[in-house]
């Protein structure tokens, strides 16, 4: 579990085919995709302290659902589900060390099956599927590389304001300030004239 830190975001890459665990567009499906530069490939880490140990929950950055496994018609399926629709153990996983370096095995808490990449890879769409396996067969299909997603850089600073000579136009700006409770009084609207198009200058005026 040392590779997972509560509140951080990670990518999960299959050692078998190099594809990333991704949330599908249908709000429930899970698949393996090549492109990680998408919210669909990002998973927020939630660590739960349960029964004297730690369990892992993976929260999709794409739509807020959790990676889950559930039993239906005699078989276990991997999907994303809302937390309030299934027992919490359906969303819980163990992260176990692998015999290959820093790779991890993800073992489902309730079924005790392992998350695995399906061996077949669609060469046209460059994607693959995921499922569960009852035992650790020592193959790369059950090994996952945990890649930490670095925090976003701070919001870039605004550029320096342009000189008035390079600007044109005058704008009437209406504004109102909320009270400490966030309530806006409809009688407190104010008007001022703003010259130019500098966001920095406008921000400075509104901050006064």
| pLDDT tens per residue, range 138-179 | 788 999 999 999 887 554 555 555 555 544 567 788 888 877
Q: Which domains does the chain have, with CATH numbers?
A: 9-148 (2.80.10.50), 164-207 (no CATH)
Does pTM top 0.75 for this prediction? no
Backbone angles phi, psi at 66, to 5 degrees: -105, 145
| Closest by CA position to 114, among listed 128, 95, 135 | 135
Place of tokens 């790369």: 140
| pLDDT tens per residue, range 86-123 | 557 888 999 998 877 889 999 999 899 999 998 665 56
What residues have CB less than 8 Å from 3, skipping those under 6 apart?
10, 95, 102, 104, 146
| pLDDT tens per residue, range 116-125 | 998 665 565 5
Query: For 185-195, what is the mean pLDDT?
Result: 80
């Amino acid at each position: 579990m040392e590779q997972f830190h509560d509140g951080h975001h990670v990518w999960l890459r299959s050692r078998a085919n190099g594809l990333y665990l991704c949330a599908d567009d249908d709000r429930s499906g899970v698949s393996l995709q090549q492109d990680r530069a998408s919210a669909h490939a990002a998973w927020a880490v939630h660590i739960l302290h349960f029964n004297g140990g730690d369990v892992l929950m993976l929260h999709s950055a794409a739509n807020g659902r959790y990676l889950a496994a559930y039993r239906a018609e005699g078989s276990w399926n991997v999907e994303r589900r809302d937390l309030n629709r299934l027992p919490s153990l359906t969303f819980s996983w163990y992260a176990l060390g692998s015999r290959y370096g820093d790779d991890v095995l993800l073992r489902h808490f309730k079924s005790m099956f392992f998350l695995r990449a399906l061996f077949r890879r669609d060469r046209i769409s460059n994607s693959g599927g995921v499922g569960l396996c009852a035992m650790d067969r020592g193959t790369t299909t059950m090994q996952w590389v945990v890649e930490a997603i670095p925090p976003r850089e701070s919001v870039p600073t605004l550029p320096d304001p342009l000189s008035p000579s390079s600007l044109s136009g005058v704008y009437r700006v209406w504004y109102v300030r909320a009270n400490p409770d966030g309530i806006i009084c409809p009688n407190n609207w104010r008007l001022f004239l703003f010259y130019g198009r500098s966001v920095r200058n406008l921000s400075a005026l509104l901050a006064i």
